Amino acid sequence: MPDAALVMRGGLIGALAPFVVFLSGVGWLALMGAPDERGFWPILLAAIAVGIALARDRHRYCEALLAGMAQPIVMLMIMAWLLAGVLSTLLGASGFVEALIWLARSGGVSGGAYVAAAFVVCCLVATSTGTSFGTIIIGGPLLYPAGASTGADPAMLIGAILGGATFGDSISPISDTTIASAGTQNTDIAGTVQARLKYVLPAAMIALVVYAVAGGARSQTGDSIAAAVGRPDGLPMILIPVMVIGLLLKKRHLVESLIAGAVAAIVLGLSLGLLQPDQLLRFETGSFTARSVVIDGLERGVGVSVFTLLLVALVSAFEVTGTLSRLTSTSAGITNPWRAETWIVTTVSAAVLLTTHSVVAILAVGPFARATGIRAAIGPYRRANLLDLTVCTWPFLLPYFLPTILSSNATQSGTALGMPRISAFDAGTHNFYSWALVAIVILAVATGFGRTEGPPEANRP
């Protein structure tokens, strides 16, 4: 028997108060142009403090915070952030980014063409691997710095990288959201993905055109810096990200793939003379410190790791209040197709905005969406696609979700080449794939096209 919901002072208002504090702080930081995810730390701590103050059982609230932090998926994400930082700094130190710059300049790929190419590359990687996070943490630190010499608009470029990662998450048959959405509607993945093409391909084409036409930078201040360092020496290092992607395609663990990539980068870099032993570890006796590109990479992942811990703690404490369960059980009696679809999109949007986790939102809303959809004669493919496409919008647009935070974090890799840091807010604002997807979902619900798609099913929840 499940535990009773944790009671908060003020009821629903008390349960939502920590998120009001968090979202208000995020909005303020976004307007102020917060430089990185570290700015969110004090806001999250303040939100947690408000939650503890309002909880009638403060011990249970604190235990829920810690239980959220201790989840295996959280540890996986933190390991991924840290190891991806190591891999990207190793590739950067070996000259791979300069090699990409040289390659882009030699091929005449510049401005919007480079931004559009980055979008397509990330679409392919994310669709193949099924991971938007993996695409951002591998592709971002490589493709973003290389834009320095191409005349690419920095915000458009990171938006294209984020947009390509979003595309793969929304269409890949091995994406966790695809599996969850089809599973909750008791339908097959292959048919669900095929039916989804009519939504995602137009959105991708809109984004591709926008990036190609408007992706050029207004100024070329980075050209002189990039031109001086662009060289082909590091081209062999392209084998490293190819190897990592290949391991992911073979269903190898993300941690294993990133560790293997880092080790292979060290071995290949040292053997080709692209890395020197003292770059891997050296001691500064005067200051009693150790320096290393590996240490630099780990430090790059600290900001997003602390953010992740604090955010999942806040969300876990919110979940034990039972507010999400009450939200998802409001569909009884809806039989009109338009109202039913509006309820599905609105409720899964609210769930993902509050939990910040796409799969959790789908699993919470999915059973109610199935029951409501059957009553309103909405096909299973359509229900699954409304769930999936909706959760592939807000987390890739708003500045307090991990995809936008990761994208902002990836832009740190371009500062040495004159590329600016881009905030999570600006990264999401320039994700034109997700904005196009929002418009297409609204249009689909308004017009009803594709509403009855899916195999026959029993006319009961």
pLDDT, tens digit (0-9, with 9 covering 90-100), for 406-434: 898 889 888 877 788 898 889 999 999 99
Does residue 103 belong to any structural domain of this protein?
yes
pLDDT digits (tens, 9 = 90+) for 289-333: 777 888 888 887 788 788 888 888 888 888 888 877 777 777 667
* Domain limits for position 281: 71-447
> Any long-range contacts for 394-397 (C-beta under 8 Å, 24+ apart)?
394/349, 394/352, 394/353, 395/352, 395/356, 395/358, 396/132, 396/162, 396/163, 396/165, 396/166, 396/169, 396/428, 396/431, 396/433, 396/434, 397/428, 397/429, 397/431, 397/434, 397/435, 397/438
Number of domains the chain contains? 1
State the first-to-last Cα distance of the chain, in angstroms, to the nearest integer.
23
Q: Lowest-confidence range among 5-9, 226-230, 263-267?
A: 226-230
Kindly state the DSSP code that residue 33 receives in the 8-state scheme: T
For the segment 325-381, what is each residue's pLDDT rounded down to a tens digit?
A: 777 777 667 788 999 999 999 999 988 888 777 877 888 788 888 888 888 889 999
- Residue 351 to residue 331: CA distance in whole angstroms: 14
Q: Which residue has the higher pLDDT, 213 or 38?
A: 213
What percent of the chain shows pLDDT beyond 90? 28
| Of the listed ranges 56-70, 75-89, 263-277, 333-347, the one predicted with least confidence | 75-89
Q: Which residue has the tokens 């409304």?
A: 386
CB 149, CB 101: distance < 8 Å = yes
Categorize the per-residue pLDDT at 165 as very low, low, confident or very high, splitting at 50, 70 and 90: very high
Question: Left if phi > 0, otherwise alpha if psi is -120 to 50, otherwise beta: which for 55?
Answer: beta
DSSP bridge partners of 130: none
Q: At what angle do helices 176-184 and 189-214 cross, to 10 degrees?
A: 140
* 49 found inside a domain: no
What's the whole-number mean pLDDT along residues 156-168?
Answer: 94
Tell me what the mean pLDDT of segment 202-218 comes to.
90
pLDDT digits 0-9 by tens, 75-133 = 887 888 788 788 878 887 888 777 777 777 777 778 889 999 899 988 988 887 777 88
Mean pLDDT check: name the lowest of 6-15, 29-38, 374-383: 29-38
Q: Is residue 11 part of a domain?
A: no
Contacts of 370 (CB under 8 A, 6+ apart): 184, 185, 186, 380, 383, 461
Query: Mean pLDDT over residues 60-72, rounded?
Result: 90
| 61 occurs within a structural domain | no
